[in-house]
Amino acid sequence: MPKLAGVIIAKTIEEAVKKIKLHEADLYELRVDYLESMENIELLLPHSNKLIVTVRKVEEGGAKRIEEQERLKLFEKFAKIKPAYFDVELYSNIVEDVINLSSKIGSKVILSYHNFSKTPSYQTLQSILDSMIELEPDIIKIVTYARDFRDNIEVIKLYENSENLIAFCMGEKGKISRIFSALYSPFTYVSIDNSVAPGQFTVGEMRKILELLGETK
């Protein structure tokens, strides 16, 4: 059965842990950029092997502006619980610092690129992907916005020569590529309550679709 990562939006660690306990995803992405308190991070320890720690840049959909060095400090704070993954954007000044931090503590790296306004051409996306490959992350995540259904095709083409790729389009017109990602990515992202990104399925909806696709093994 394809793996699903539930996106955790919470103000406190306690609220995040509560949400993790309430749901049945395979992984959980903790959006640190939404947190208002960093108290009691150790409460996440029992769930660290399922955790993706993301401090999303505001330019790529983050909840608020956080200076790069401040973002790096937050990653270092969460390094204490050794999460399964760190997610850092290709286009960020701290990308190499986070990659080094991850390898030091044995966490994996998701190298990500988000375009919330459109879907660049396949050629542009492939060149972004190629530059991401050079940094040798564990997983590459490319998420764009679908203005037209054909945008799905631009993104789906990326799967042709890539492994460990999570690539899909946001938006109502991009939903088909989210299913493609659920089937052919290491895992894909779903919402567990109020969806974070446009076009996002809930865990339940995605599980139903996958069942109808015969993906129950």
What would the two tokens of residue 202 be?
């809930």
Active site residue 141: yes
For a second copy, which stretch binds (CB under 8 A), given 32-40, 63-71, 157-165, 189-197? 157-165
Torsion angles phi and psi, residue 170, rounded to 5: -80, 170
Does the annotation flag 178 for ligand binding? Answer: yes
Restricting to residues 35-74, name those near a second copy by CB under 8 A: none
Ramachandran quadrant class, 6 (left: phi over 0; alpha: psi -120 to 50; beta: rest): beta
Please say which residue, 116 or 184, places its beta carbon nearer to a second copy: 184
Q: Are 215 and 2 in contact (CB under 8 A)?
A: yes
Whole-angstrom distance, CA of residue 141 vs CA of residue 127: 14
For a second copy, which stretch binds (CB under 8 A), given 65-73, 74-82, 101-109, 146-154? 146-154
Number of residues that bind a second copy (CB under 8 A): 22
Whole-angstrom distance, CA of residue 178 vs CA of residue 141: 12
Distance of CA 176 to the CA centre of its chain: 18
Please work out, in degrees rounded to the nearest 5, the angle formed at the alpha carbon of residue 77 by the alpha carbons of 48 and 24: 25
Annotated catalytic residue: which of 114, 118, 208, 217?
114
Active site residue 82: no
Please work out, in degrees rounded to the nearest 5, the angle formed at the alpha carbon of residue 156 by the alpha carbons of 151 and 158: 110
1 contacts a second copy (rule: CB under 8 A)? no
Pick one of 95, 156, 166, 190: the residue that binds a second copy (CB under 8 A): 156
Q: List, as residue ranges, the binding site.
A: 29-31, 56, 178, 200
Active site residues: 114, 141
Residues of this chain that bind a second copy (CB under 8 A): 149-150, 152-153, 156-157, 159-160, 172, 175-176, 179-180, 183-184, 201, 205, 208-209, 212-214
Q: List, as residue ranges, the binding site for 3-dehydroquinate.
A: 29-31, 56, 178, 200
